[in-house]
Amino acid sequence: DTEVTQTPKHLVMGMTNKKSLKCEQHMGHRAMYWYKQKAKKPPELMFVYSYEKLSINESVPSRFSPECPNSSLLNLHLHALQPEDSALYLCASSQAGGAVEETQYFGPGTRLLVL
């Protein structure tokens, strides 16, 4: 299994809603990532978990809350989002999370629209 899966594929939410994005991989990877990508822009790193511990938080607002229940699963909890948070949210994983040259494998993304 060389796939990173993400659910849901699309999500529409109001600014007062609470929702969660889910990501799963079964490649035995120990690092997992959340990226945000706006249209025609490159992915921007939000969070990195390495061995289920948060290792990088790129100054993301607290309305985004990551969770890594185990080495295969990564969640992103959303609360009180703003319309400008509408974007494609990409999950990725890599083997061990310690080497700079590791290849990251991306999921198909969740397209989020905040109204």
* Site residues (vs other proteins, CB under 8 A): 4, 31, 33, 40-45, 48, 50, 55-56, 88, 90, 94, 97-101, 103-109, 111
Can you tell me which residue has the tokens 């990088």?
56
Nearer to other proteins, 15 or 58 (CB): 58
Nearer to other proteins, 42 or 69 (CB): 42
Pairwise CA distance, residues 96 & 92, whole Å: 13
Nearer to other proteins, 15 or 25 (CB): 25
30: number of Cβ within 10 Å? 17
Nearer to other proteins, 84 or 101 (CB): 101
Cis-peptide, bond into residue 108, ω within 30° of zero: no
Structure tokens that stand for 43 in this block = 């992915």
Structure tokens that stand for 84 in this block = 């400008």
Question: Using an 8 Å Cβ cutoff, are 12 and 81 in contact?
Answer: no
